[in-house]
Amino acid sequence: MRWTIKPKPEQKDIDALSKALKVDGLVAQLLLHRGIDTYEKAKKFFRPQLTDLHNPFLMKDMDVAVERIEKAIADSENILVYGDYDVDGTTSVALLSSYLLDYYPNVATYIPDRYGEGYGVSYKGIDFAEDNGFSLIITLDCGVKAIDKVAYAKEKKVDFIICDHHRPGENLPDAVAVLDPKRADCSYPYDELCGCGVGFKLIQALGSRKGETIDNLIPYLDLVATAIGADIVPITGENRVLAYHGLKVINSNPRIGFKAIIDQIKKTVLTITDVVFIIAPRINAAGRMKHGQHAVNLLMETDLNQATIFAAEIEKFNIDRRSLDQKITQEALLQIQENKEEERVTSVVYKETWHKGVIGIVASRLTETYYRPTLVFTKSGDKLAASARSVKGFDVYNALEGCSDHIEQFGGHKYAAGLTLLEEQYDAFKKQFEKVVSETIDPALLTPEILVDMAIELKDISPKLIRILKQFAPFGPGNMTPVFMAENLKGYAKGVGQEEAHLKISVIQNDTHKIGGIGFNLGDKLPVVASRKPFDAVFNLDENEWQGNISLQLRLKDIR
């Protein structure tokens, strides 16, 4: 791994912030790394307020969207709330439909089938709307590229309002309104919202017309926080405010569906990391293994007994998903080895029987193993479908644009995308993707990087520091957990866990300050400590609770 130490801010800036906030230089430096250089910014960071959220009507087309929804309600039209089958899509659908249903009955939900319809707006979904008398479709987390589908709906007298956060193409669909902060002509102050975040801005706008305040919308923030965590959007600006208050809802008064999941996992306080690794995979498993509507049903359920039944179903989907993704990952790794592709700068694998619902997870696993842009293909109807994942710093979406001659359709983000192509294009695409990536990627990006905030002495680690660092949460892109480096350590270590895969360590610096640590999946680093030579370590700071006692520990990321 590459260790990259962030440049130290100017000492005068550290001293000024330190004085303004009455904190030590170490904390001031961490804040400056996050762009927080004034008392006012620090106040917003440590005490995120719902009143800091932007006026939703600053978003392009918001006024038009609200007027069209109000007209639909006044005219007793049927409204179809349509979303993608992943966490961001299903939470968005649950959010908007449950909000509308509170005061208007003619609302239904639609999640496309991952296998029968694929990602985003489908002709089948539009036909369903026409056949069942829906004159307005509101999409969430999809639709910004659905130009042909929206034109098809228009012929059938079905209107569209699109709420999306993906990058638009050159042209926008001819919808009544397109709410997407990434639109080139949208001057909304924050463009990193997830799909559910855009949906929340819509209900904020609708609510303001009925005299509601932000306090009326707090019960919906558990959904928004879950989508923010699952979709890996930056936890900065509005996302930080929404995630911070959404976590409070999850931990104090979650909706019945979340309560049913939390009751199963028996965890008392959930962090954003728990939301990402415990709640989100279960919600996702419905769309991966069966149908995303199961997740929407759970998230909208108001009866705990029924929600418990739904949560048990989803738990089974998740267990099945886990065993499938392990099996397919092994097959994909074997394919790379058998084809002797270790020297490539990309991983592109395909097997027609692989389950479409888990290829995204498998792509992530392969990226962890070989650390390079990765595509996992499977057969989907008469075409091939793939999930793409990238490495930090490389835009896989742009790379796919460079291969567009061989692609039927694609969409997504810098680090994760999806695409379909014809089977006869697979070999040409694979060759072109390798060419585009090898010509555009900085070779340094093919080695995983640990970004280190600063070097510290073990003597600086104290319960007070941990208390302050806890207030930096919720963590995520744009506000990662602080990473420290300590040099010239000595100590002893042992391998622990299954096959001694993890490293348990006790270290000392300058023969005085001693602290314990744990390094997950660092068992192979045991010889570095056992050599008795001084070594350096990078780590997060953590608390270890054992038999009621809490001690500080290093959560090791690497040693050398």
How does pLDDT run across 399-452, given as a tens digit for each residue?
Answer: 999 999 999 988 877 888 899 999 999 999 999 999 999 999 999 999 999 999
Instruction: Give the per-residue pLDDT at 167.
Output: 86
The mean pLDDT of 62-80, rounded to a whole number, is 98
Residue 40 lies in a domain: no
Query: 231 and 298: one domain?
Result: yes
Q: Is the pLDDT of residue 311 over 90?
A: yes
CB distance 421 to 429 below 8 Å: yes
Q: Is the pLDDT of residue 266 over 80?
A: no
As a whole-number percent, the residues of the chain with pLDDT over 70 amount to 100
CB distance 181 to 59 below 8 Å: yes
Residue 377 lies in a domain: yes
Residue 343 lies in a domain: yes
Query: 300 and 356: one domain?
Result: no
Distance, in Å, from the CA atom of 236 to the CA atom of 33, rounded to the nearest integer, reads 13
Residue 323 lies in a domain: no
Instruction: Give the per-residue pLDDT at 340.
Output: 84
Query: 438 and 508: one domain?
Result: no
Instruction: Give the per-residue pLDDT at 531.
Output: 87
When pLDDT is cut at 50, 70 and 90, the band that residue 550 belongs to is confident
How many domains does the chain fold into? 3
Contacts of residue 513, Cβ cutoff 8 Å, sequence gap at least 6: 457, 458, 459, 461
Q: Which residue has the tokens 């892109």?
A: 477
Query: 441 and 462: one domain?
Result: no
Helical segments of 253-377, H only: 256-265, 272-274, 280-289, 293-300, 304-338, 359-370
Q: 398, 421, 446 — which closes off a domain?
A: 446
Residue 77 lies in a domain: yes
In this structure, what token pair is assigned to residue 358?
Answer: 């888990």
Instruction: Give the per-residue pLDDT at 405.
Output: 93
- We report the CATH number of the domain holding residue 215 as 3.90.1640.30
Query: 174 and 112: one domain?
Result: yes
Query: 84 and 176: one domain?
Result: yes
The secondary structure of the chain in percent helix, strand, coil, rounded to multiples of 5, reads: 50, 20, 30
Instruction: Give the per-residue pLDDT at 193.
Output: 97
Q: 427, 446, 465 — which closes off a domain?
A: 446
CB distance 44 to 55 below 8 Å: no
Instruction: Give the per-residue pLDDT at 268.
Output: 79
- We report the CATH number of the domain holding residue 387 as 3.10.310.30
Pairing of strands 502-509, 513-519: antiparallel
Instruction: Give the per-residue pLDDT at 119.
Output: 81
- 47-54: list long-range contacts, CB under 8 Å, 24+ apart: 48/240, 48/241, 48/244, 48/245, 49/241, 50/214, 50/215, 50/218, 50/241, 50/245, 51/214, 52/238, 52/241, 53/204, 53/214, 53/238, 53/241, 53/242, 54/188, 54/189, 54/190, 54/238
The mean pLDDT of 304-310, rounded to a whole number, is 95
Instruction: Give the per-residue pLDDT at 409.
Output: 87
Tell me which of 163 and 463 has the higher pLDDT: 163
- Model confidence over 328-353: pLDDT tens digits? 999 999 999 998 877 899 999 999 99
Query: 68 and 83: one domain?
Result: yes
Query: 231 and 246: one domain?
Result: yes
Kindly list the distances between the CA atom of residue 552 and the CA atoms of 11, 407, 458, 463, 543, in Å, as whole numbers in the listed order.
29, 52, 11, 7, 5
Query: 279 and 359: one domain?
Result: no
Query: 518 and 372: one domain?
Result: no
Distance, in Å, from the CA atom of 451 to the CA atom of 431, rounded to the nearest integer, reads 32
Q: Is the pLDDT of residue 236 over 90?
A: yes
Instruction: Give the per-residue pLDDT at 195.
Output: 96
Residue 240 lies in a domain: yes
Residue 236 lies in a domain: yes
Q: What DSSP string runs through 410-451?
A: EEE-SSEEEEEE-GGGHHHHHHHHHHHHHHHS-GGGGS-EEE
Q: 446, 461, 477 — which closes off a domain?
A: 446
- We report the CATH number of the domain holding residue 538 as 2.40.50.460
Residues 462-495: b if buried by 16+ CB within 10 A, e if exposed: eeebeebbeebbbbbeebebbbbbbeebebebee
Query: 130 and 193: one domain?
Result: yes
Task: Among 54-63, 385-394, 398-407, 548-557, name the one with the lowest average pLDDT.
Answer: 548-557
CB distance 400 to 425 below 8 Å: no
When pLDDT is cut at 50, 70 and 90, the band that residue 55 belongs to is very high
- Model confidence over 444-491: pLDDT tens digits? 999 999 999 999 999 999 999 999 999 999 999 899 999 999 999 999
Instruction: Give the per-residue pLDDT at 287.
Output: 85
Residue 282 lies in a domain: yes
Instruction: Give the per-residue pLDDT at 66.
Output: 98
Q: What residue numbers bound the domain in which 541 lies? A: 2-6+450-559
Instruction: Give the per-residue pLDDT at 544.
Output: 82
Instruction: Give the per-residue pLDDT at 118.
Output: 80
Query: 218 and 178: one domain?
Result: yes
- Model confidence over 274-284: pLDDT tens digits? 999 889 999 99
In this structure, what token pair is assigned to residue 12?
Answer: 């005068």
| CA dihedral sign of residues 397, 402, 405, 406 | negative
Q: What is the mean pLDDT of the chain?
A: 94
CB distance 145 to 411 below 8 Å: yes
